[in-house]
Amino acid sequence: MDKIKFQVLFTGSEGNCSLLSYKDTNILIDAGFKTNKKMQEILGPVLEKVKIDGVIVTHEHNDHFSPWTGRLCMENEIKLYVHEKHIAGEEDRKTKYLSFTDKRKGETKYVNYEIIKEDDPFVIKDIKIEPFTAFHDAAKTLGFVINNEFGYLADCGYISNNIKRKLENVKYLALEFNYDIKALLLSDRHWSNKFRTMGKFGHLSNEEALKFISTLKENNLLQIVTLHPSNSHCDLKKLEEDLKNIGIKYSVSTREGNPEIIFDIEKKGEKI
């Protein structure tokens, strides 16, 4: 049977991009790079190996979606899947996300894009994607359920009942594990930043994420991948210990250089 393959190419506040493949379909979840140099460094080797069929965007913060996302799509003829709120203000922006004018050649290129909506599933070749609303301080933040078995949720300050319902049956989950509550509170960050991070529309603490996966483990959850660690308030060694205690197969992502994961556990108790 064909398996979902997943690789966290880049994650954290500097940028986010994951590659998900199923059968002959390859998609990127977010492609938020702050510079072209970084994007080429991370995605250059990937684009040499696979043809990307679509980029799906979680939200419009520039570590997830930036003008470089648009350039990537234009230059490689990739379709972009965005919520209408992700592209609001495009007309007024000095730097366009969805078009690029080469002044020397006098040419303008446009991104081929499709508007997606929460709770309205869409298909990219072999992959079915169901977007749902996450809690975060962007105009619109989405999580995704893919092929009814894989969940993706980054940048989400609060696990609402709706999110619980959307993810309750997934077997595999990529979830934000952003910060240790104590480490953040004791840090010298400005209090307003601490409140923003810890708020309902901020980021998910490791404690909350662990609690959530403990409940999903009672259902169908078999394997998880952590996303979006804070550089300074997320102790990855401690996180590994905590995940070990939960007794689930896990991969702790570092900012970049993560291996490909093939989700190959079918039932509980297999190969864990």
Q: Does 208 bind Zn ion (CB under 5 A)?
A: no
| Least distance from Zn ion to the Cβ atom of residue 177, Å | 13
Decide: 52 and 135 in contact? Cβ < 8 Å.
no
Whole-number Cα distances in Å, 131 to 25, 60, 108, 158, 215: 18, 15, 31, 17, 22
- Quick one: 42 or 265, whose CB is closer to Zn ion? 42
One of 63, 130, 176, 208 touching Zn ion (CB under 5 A): 63
- Span of 91-99, 147-155, 169-177, 257-265 interacting with Zn ion by CB under 5 A: 147-155
Q: Does 71 bind Zn ion (CB under 5 A)?
A: no
- Span of 37-45, 54-62, 108-116, 119-127 interacting with Zn ion by CB under 5 A: 54-62
One of 60, 130, 155, 208 touching Zn ion (CB under 5 A): 155
| Least distance from Zn ion to the Cβ atom of residue 51, Å | 27
Decide: 29 and 58 in contact? Cβ < 8 Å.
yes
* Residue 75, H or E segment: helix 67-76
Closest residue to Zn ion using C-beta atoms: 61
Select from 136, 114, 149 the least CA-distant residue to 204: 136
| Least distance from Zn ion to the Cβ atom of residue 162, Å | 19
Q: Does 176 bind Zn ion (CB under 5 A)?
A: no
| Least distance from Zn ion to the Cβ atom of residue 66, Å | 11
Give the residue carrying structure tokens 């996180």: 239
Give the Cα separation of 129 and 119 in Å (integer).
10
Q: Does 60 bind Zn ion (CB under 5 A)?
A: no
Q: Does 140 bind Zn ion (CB under 5 A)?
A: no
The pair of three-digit structure tokens given for residue 22, joined into one six-digit string: 């199923």
The pair of three-digit structure tokens given for residue 196, joined into one six-digit string: 């923003």
- DSSP secondary structure letter of residue 91: G
| Least distance from Zn ion to the Cβ atom of residue 15, Å | 9
One of 61, 140, 166, 249 touching Zn ion (CB under 5 A): 61
- Quick one: 61 or 86, whose CB is closer to Zn ion? 61
Select from 117, 120, 128, 73 the least CA-distant residue to 99: 73
- Span of 55-63, 115-123, 161-169, 255-263 interacting with Zn ion by CB under 5 A: 55-63
- The 113-116 sheet, strands edge to edge: 113-116, 80-83, 54-56, 25-33, 15-22, 5-10, 261-262
At residue 159, φ and ψ (nearest 5 deg) are -90, 95
Residues that bind Zn ion (CB under 5 A): 61, 63, 155
